[in-house]
Amino acid sequence: MTKDSQALVFVVDDDEAVRSSTKLLLKSVGLPAVTFSSAQEFLDNYDPLQPGCVVLDVRMPLMSGLELQQLLNMRGAIIPVIFITGHGDIPMAVEAMQHGAFDFLQKPFRDQDLLDRVQKALEKDRVNRVQLREKTRIQERRESLTPREREILELMTRGKPNKVMAADLGVSQRTVEIHRARVMEKMGASSLAQLVRMVMDLDQPGGDTSSPSAREAAR
């Protein structure tokens, strides 16, 4: 699928009536939804490239919503998950939030509450995908640097002056200047400040661009 494909709401619930009614409700406000009767069925059809969000029942036989969330997390999935819980499931909802759920909702829910959360989740997914794409781009640029250029980049982001770099690396200041220019050009940075920000974003935890599915999703 391409990055431009339409966002979908994935409804995962073992109860047929809850599933169909949620799908119709979403459809009635113009949000296309796809339903799955089990966590496994969702997982079997999961496409990291497909933008959207998941509306997930916390309590299901065999694989619960929480277990599915953990599997998605392990795969480095960035798709936001809204949990649907029953009355007695608050501890489960808390656990889900601790594991990075986007939000949760108690059954039965008001249409506006569901629609608001879904809209916000879709927006979050969109922003996530843009950021991930940007990160992957920077990552790829960094990978295109030669070992020496990467060394220079490392020293630049630590704020070392050219003179110190030259001494550290045992080369002339002129050579350092040439490498610097190449690094700026290859990274597509117009200022040192911008370059530092790029590298900080890359190395920030949470933005795991090294996981295969995250990188795939960013294409």
- Select the residue interacting with another protein from 4, 88, 191, 210 (CB under 8 A): 88
Q: Which residues pair with 23 in a beta bridge?
A: none
Least distance from another protein to the Cβ atom of residue 20, Å: 7
> Is residue 37 close enough to count as binding another protein by CB under 8 A?
no
> Is residue 59 close enough to count as binding another protein by CB under 8 A?
yes
Residue 179 Cα distances to 46, 79, 160, 185, angstroms = 44, 39, 14, 10
> Which residues fall within 8 angstroms of residue 90, CB to CB, at 6 or more apart?
none
> Is residue 91 close enough to count as binding another protein by CB under 8 A?
no
Least distance from another protein to the Cβ atom of residue 211, Å: 27
Do 45 and 36 touch, CB atoms closer than 8 A?
yes
- Select the residue interacting with another protein from 2, 44, 62, 159 (CB under 8 A): 62
> Is residue 40 close enough to count as binding another protein by CB under 8 A?
no
- Select the residue interacting with another protein from 7, 109, 196, 202 (CB under 8 A): 109
Give the residue carrying structure tokens 């496994």.
40
Of 109 and 148, the one with the shorter C-beta distance to another protein is: 109
* Dihedral sign for Cα atoms in the order 81, 24, 42, 108: positive
